[in-house]
């Protein structure tokens, strides 16, 4: 649907702006650039107020029959590419502009922005509509605050006023906001998953409070950007809940990741197939090795027709007593600058048990999820040094990072010998192995599973 033509004076302004925007941009010093930014924002603010006045005039005569939309706000949303909030603010600001003369003058002078003006207008409307005897709209007082506060802080002042005037209406707004909440998980080819979420303010605050501490950079080698750190923080938080057994069981089964793989993949042999991770599809052998570093393993033997002929007992790769000794020695991720505590780490085999590395404290080191990923998939390599330390070699040639020395083990920190019972709380990822017909032939020379 087309509308028009637009009024002559606006067409002339449009031509001026088009000519200005098409100019050759000359290099400018910082001071000129700063002044340009402020003047441009002031012009945009004035146009916003002018737009709001027009929107209010449009609203005054708007009929659904003429424009095939239930309201001016929805018409603006569809035709002017605005959000509902921006469109509703424009209409409200335009309707109040004549009565908010002081604020309109402050906007023209550049003392407040249009966002401030929008909150002044919606607050005036809310207080007057509430009929509250106690809350009054004092433009002069509120404007003085708008002139000194950022938009975000000024909005808080306005919200307090609106709540004081009509808490039922305030609650209604919050409930309506919460009704829009959603989270969708969309799987892409290759196993990646897109997470799209809209949370109510409290839900958003809960998520941010939980993710922020986990999303901080982990030491000086951490080259992840902010978005990558937030993505890792979300996965780390979920993985920790699974590791701790704090996710409700389904069909009497503890929730955990399930990887199916072959002996060849665990041994990291050339020509070995990829692993299969439930909900994710195929994962690289490097990832299988990481997940198997500190997991519960179930051996499944199949015959040439892929029929299961034997299912072994589930065994923990790192026995509880060894894990407790590691917790006492390493006290968290050993990567320099990383402070994840023991329950947020996995026990990494410097020489993988699939390649006959021992599951003892000399060959094990605690690493957080991110640093464990670095040494399996990220190209870093851990090696023992002659001085009993461990060195991390970066994929960038010549960069080496000595891992933090383990602390002295405090008397009484080590567990009683041979507890023999699998304690809750240590890492519990599962890897079911092996399932190819060839396994039968390999059985005689399988590497010994780490002692349970
Ligand atoms: Zn590992
Ligand atoms: Zn770490």
User: How many angstroms separate the alpha carbon of residue 134 from the centre of ligand 1?
Assistant: 64
Closest by CA position to 331, among listed 409, 220, 401, 423:
409
Q: Is residue 26 part of a domain?
A: yes
Q: Which residues contact 328 (CB under 8 A, 6 or more apart)?
A: 409, 410, 413, 414
Q: Is there a domain that residue 80 lies in? A: yes
Please name which ligand lies nearest the alpha carbon of 364: 1
In this structure, are residues 338 and 219 in contact, taking their beta carbons and an 8 Å threshold?
yes
Position 160 in a domain: yes
SS3 212: helix
Going by their DSSP bridges, the two strands 275-277 and 281-283 should be labelled as antiparallel
Give dist(CA 284, CA 265) in Å, integer.
Answer: 9
Give residue 107's domain range. 10-178
β-bridge partners, 250: 253
CA of 289 to the centre of ligand 1 (A): 7
Ligand 2 centroid, distance to 352 Cα (angstroms): 19
Domain-located, residue 30? yes
The total number of structural domains that make up the chain: 1
CA of 366 to the centre of ligand 1 (A): 9
Cα 143 to averaged position of ligand 1 atoms, centre (Å): 60
pLDDT in tens for each of the 452 residues of the chain? 678 789 999 999 999 999 999 999 888 899 999 999 999 999 999 999 999 999 999 999 888 777 778 889 999 999 999 999 999 999 999 999 999 999 999 999 999 999 999 999 999 999 988 887 777 889 999 999 999 999 999 999 999 999 988 899 899 988 998 999 999 999 888 889 999 999 998 999 999 999 999 999 998 778 899 999 999 999 999 999 988 888 887 766 667 888 999 989 999 899 999 999 888 889 999 999 999 999 988 888 887 787 888 888 888 999 999 999 999 999 999 988 888 999 999 999 999 999 999 999 999 999 999 999 999 999 888 888 877 788 888 887 767 778 887 766 554 444 433 333 223 333 334 444 443 333 333 333 333 333 33
Burial 374-412 (b: 16+ CB within 10 A, else e): bbbeeebebeeeeeeebebbeeeeeeebebbebeeeeee
Residue 222 host element (H or E): none
Could you tell me the distance, in angstroms and rounded to a whole number, from the CA of residue 429 to the centre of ligand 2? Answer: 19
CA distance 250 to 154: 48
Residues in the chain, total: 452
Domain membership flag for residue 60: yes
**Residue 364 contacts residue 342 (beta carbons within 8 Å):** no
Q: Is residue 426 part of a domain?
A: no
What's the pTM?
A: 0.70
Asked whether 285 and 278 are in contact (CB, 8 A), the reply is no
84 located within any domain: yes
Domain annotation covers residue 38 = yes
């Amino acid at each position: 649907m087309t509308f028009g033509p637009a009024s002559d004076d606006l067409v002339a302004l449009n031509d001026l702006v088009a000519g200005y925007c098409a100019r050759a941009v000359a290099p400018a010093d910082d001071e000129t650039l700063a002044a340009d930014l402020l003047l441009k924002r002031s012009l945009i603010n004035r146009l916003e107020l002018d737009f709001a006045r027009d929107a209010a005039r449009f609203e005054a005569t708007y009929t659904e029959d003429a424009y095939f939309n239930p309201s001016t706000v929805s018409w603006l949303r569809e035709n002017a590419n605005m959000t509902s909030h921006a469109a509703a603010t424009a209409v409200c600001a335009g309707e109040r502009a004549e009565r908010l003369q002081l604020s309109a003058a402050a906007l023209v002078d550049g003392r407040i922005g249009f966002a401030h003006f929008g909150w002044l207008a919606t607050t005036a409307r809310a207080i007057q509509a509430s009929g509250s005897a106690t809350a009054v709209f004092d433009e002069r007082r509120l404007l003085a605050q708008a002139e000194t506060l950022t938009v975000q802080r000024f909005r808080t002042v306005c919200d307090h006023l609106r709540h004081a005037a009509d808490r039922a209406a305030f609650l209604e707004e919050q409930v309506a906001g919460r009704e829009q909440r959603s989270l969708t998980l969309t799987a892409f080819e290759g196993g990646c998953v897109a997470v799209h979420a809209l949370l109510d303010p409290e839900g958003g605050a809960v998520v941010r409070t939980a993710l922020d501490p986990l999303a901080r950079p982990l030491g000086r080698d951490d080259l992840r950007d902010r978005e990558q750190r937030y993505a890792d923080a979300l996965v780390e938080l979920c993985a920790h809940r699974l590791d701790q057994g704090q996710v409700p069981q389904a069909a009497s089964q503890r929730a955990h990741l399930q990887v199916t793989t072959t002996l060849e993949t665990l041994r990291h042999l050339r020509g070995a197939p990829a692993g299969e991770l439930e909900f994710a599809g195929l994962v690289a052998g490097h990832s299988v090795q990481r997940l198997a570093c500190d997991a519960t393993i179930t051996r499944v033997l199949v015959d040439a027709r892929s029929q299961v002929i034997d299912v072994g007992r589930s065994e923990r790769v790192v026995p509880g007593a060894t894990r407790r000794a590691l917790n006492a020695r390493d006290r968290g991720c050993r990567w320099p600058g990383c402070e994840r505590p023991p329950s947020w780490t996995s026990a990494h085999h410097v020489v993988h048990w699939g390649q006959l590395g021992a599951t003892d404290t000399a060959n094990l080191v605690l690493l957080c999820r991110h640093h464990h990923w670095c040494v399996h998939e990220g190209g870093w390599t851990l090696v023992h040094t002659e001085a009993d330390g461990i060195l991390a070699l970066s994929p960038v040639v010549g960069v080496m990072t000595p891992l933090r020395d383990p602390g002295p083990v405090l008397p009484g920190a080590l567990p009683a010998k041979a507890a023999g019972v699998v304690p809750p709380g240590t890492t519990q990822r599962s890897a079911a192995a092996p399932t190819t017909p060839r396994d039968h032939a390999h059985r005689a020379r399988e590497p010994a599973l780490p002692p349970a």
